[in-house]
Amino acid sequence: MNLQNQSLLQTGLFIDNNWLTTGSEFPVLNPATGELITKVSDASEADCYTAVEAASAAFKTWSATTAKERSSVLKKWFNLIIQNTSDLALLLTTEQGKPLAEAKGEIQYGASFIEWNAEECRRTYGEVIPTPAGNKRLLTIKQPIGVVAAITPWNFPVAMITRKIAPAIAAGCTVVLKPAEDTPLSALALAQLAKEAGLPAGVLNVLPTSKSSVIGKILTTHPDIKKLSFTGSTEVGKILMEQCSSTVKRLSLELGGNAPVIIFDDADINVAVEGTLASKYRNAGQTCVCANRIYVQRNIYPLFIEKYQSAVAALKVGNGTDNDVKIGPLINEEGLNKVKRLLFDATEKGAEILLGGKSHFAGELFFEPTIITNCSTEMRLSKEEIFGPVSSVFIFDTEEEVIGMANATEYGLAAYFFSQNINRIWSVAEQLEYGMIGINEGLISHAEAPFGGVKESGFGKEGSFYGIEEYLETKYLCFGNI
């Protein structure tokens, strides 16, 4: 890999600001080519305990620093990430597969959470409460919760990390991070830059590992860890939540989604096509807020599907480092097989393949951008995230009908709809049972806005001023005999 800054390619564990090697390693593969990128040290149970000890020791001093001091270090970290955008993007694309332009966008997006929280940590205000008694004074202060464990996914190996650890560190917490096994290199590069920025030893510790369930069990049950932040499947989230109950940890869970997109007959069709395309095919459909079910009102269906098919057919598939590529590979064989299983189930139950529908010649893990029509609620893909470049299109007649269809899921992360009727916009936005709603827009995530779901998509917010609150305790002080 031709990096300008070779120090960003790290392969050890990052504990107490030291790079450590272990007796065992695991491979990191390029999903576009299947080639070995490098081997990374494989964290053991003992390594995990060491990392927690380092974070616990560092918390004593880091929590006592001023917000201004923490802000200064975070700003330096942000600047270093921006300066190394090209290398970080190449590293990300190589281990994850998304197109280089998308990877650069993720680096900027991920860095924005560090910048935002560098500013927000200076505004974690307490309150003075009007007293009910003349000789008392009541107030609250905000204090960091303690050592935080963060478990992050492979689909956004930079942004999902900074969205968790930037507010934690800004609040005065210390962190033990377990990145996804498929994409540890981005996490280790971020740690290298954090060290260069002056983040003190033990404040951030990174444990790449192939033993996810073993390390996860330690992080969820260790008494010194006071909070867990996890992004991943609902199934795994429930297991972690149960494990965390043994020590009553604070939790932030960003779990599975099943995002509906609704195109009403009063929508701007061109805006709807562009927004749906952006939501569905970003990162080859491998995002938790990707469009999973596309509902089109009957009388505009022919026009929408004509324009949408043309737009999807124009998407270039290939290695993310090649020019003009819009769709990269799926992350691994398991992800590819899931797409094939759900697509087979849909066609067996009456869905028709309008475009694509098979593996792409670019390589083993590539799949053609696909559109299927005549979809119904009996199909598994109406209930499960397909997590791939497949658009499943449904037809509806009335607003009441489509609201019922959109809400008929245990998930509630993100939803999207397109309409130019202001009355309908308010009505539909209030009725959709989702934590985030995109209205005439397919890309909704920003550092300034709260990200999180409802129902079995989890709880807790990331981003905005809500994000740093997740890492703070509110302590009430009562002064008597004044």
Q: Which pLDDT tens digit goes with each residue over 158-168?
A: 999 999 999 99
pLDDT at residue 394 is higher than 90:
yes
Query: Is residue 117 within 8 Å of residue 167, measured between CB atoms?
Result: yes
Statement: 6-255+457-478 belongs to CATH 3.40.605.10: yes
Classify burial at 64, counting beta carbons within 10 Å of its beta carbon; exposed 0-12, middle 13-18, buried 19 or more: exposed
Per-residue pLDDT, 459? 97
Determine whether 254 is an active site residue: yes
| 6-255+457-478 and 259-446 share one fold | no
Return d(Cα 325, Cα 34) in angstroms, integer: 18
For the chain, the first-to-last Cα distance in angstroms comes to 67
Question: Tokens in use for 420?
Answer: 């130019």
| Catalytic site residue from 53, 95, 254, 462 | 254
Residues of the chain with pLDDT > 70, as a percent, come to 100
> Where do the structural domains in the chain lie, given as residue ranges?
6-255+457-478, 259-446
DSSP reduced 3-state for 38 = strand
For the chain, what is the mean pLDDT? Answer: 97
Tell me the whole-structure pTM to 2 decimals: 0.96
pLDDT, mean of residues 402-413: 98
Per-residue pLDDT, 109? 98
Query: Is residue 407 within 8 Å of residue 433, measured between CB atoms?
Result: yes
Per-residue pLDDT, 34? 97
The 10s digit of each residue's pLDDT in 72-122 is 999 999 999 999 999 999 999 999 999 999 999 999 999 999 999 999 999
Classify burial at 104, counting beta carbons within 10 Å of its beta carbon; exposed 0-12, middle 13-18, buried 19 or more: middle
pLDDT at residue 1 is higher than 90:
no
Name the band, by pLDDT with cuts 50, 70 and 90, for residue 127: very high
Determine whether 244 is an active site residue: no
| Catalytic site residue from 288, 385, 456, 470 | 288
Return d(Cα 400, Cα 294) in angstroms, integer: 16
pLDDT, mean of residues 450-458: 98
Selected from 3.30.530.20, 3.30.200.20, 3.40.309.10, 3.40.250.10, the CATH number assigned to the domain covering 259-446 reads 3.40.309.10
